[in-house]
Amino acid sequence: MSTIVIAGGAGEVGRALAQSYAADGFHVHVVDKSAAATEIATAVGGTAHIVDAADPAIAETLSEIPAVDVLINAIGVWPTMSLDELTPQAWKTSMGINLDSGYFAVWGCREALRASKGSIVNITSAIALKGHPRMIQYAAAKAGVIGMTRSLALALGPDGVRVNAVAPGLIATERNESLWTESERAKFRDARALPIDLTVEDAVAAVRFLASPAARAITGQTLVVDGGSVLH
């Protein structure tokens, strides 16, 4: 049985990924500090790890998994705030959650990924490529994820491990509906080449493609899934 580790598995994208991979026979490890990880893991016949992904101790927890075919880093927290509200502590907290957590997970799973010649998919954000005046800390951290992805692809490529990233735009989730006003969401939509709302399924499809054998020759890449807001 193939094994997948989803860091941030209690989020909306993480939950959808857990369900999708479990349906294909994967054993799913749901990693999250939220107790909801247990509910999600139980529902898909997987294993829950209740741990703060921003804590370096997560690496030790994940190192106990003997073989990992796919590691997905799906952690993201993006409170909006102005530059004057963005204190050094708020900056540090954002880096810990949005950037450091991904590296800690990779560090913990590195030998298991090498053993299975696995695949890593990091979820970054289209905001990392265009910036936002009230998401400075998030944009910076997620830009760091892109740099980390490229460098890890070079570091792990000789071991047969691929590393890629998915950069979604604003996905129509319950949380995002509450975070942004309708007029703000309309501005995001109007900036897209495709006049569509982005769904969780759009992000899941991109992750699954990059982690699959169909993408065997693809590594170090960032796939932007935003309806054509950022074209690069």
List all residues 6 or more positions away from 95 whose beta carbon is below 8 Å from its beta carbon.
137, 140, 141, 144
Question: How far from 24 is each of 33, 44, 124, 207, CA to CA, in Å?
Answer: 25, 11, 25, 15
Are residues 223 and 167 in contact, defined by beta-carbon separation less than 8 angstroms?
yes
List all residues 6 or more positions away from 170 whose beta carbon is below 8 Å from its beta carbon.
176, 180, 185, 188, 198, 226
103 given a catalytic annotation: no
DSSP state of 100: I
d(CA 35, CA 49): 9
List all residues 6 or more positions away from 23 whose beta carbon is below 8 Å from its beta carbon.
none
Catalytic residue among 138, 145, 156, 163: 138
Which strand (E) or helix (H) includes residue 47? strand 47-50
CA angle 68, 74, 77 (to 5 degrees): 150
Would you name the residues annotated as active-site residues? 138
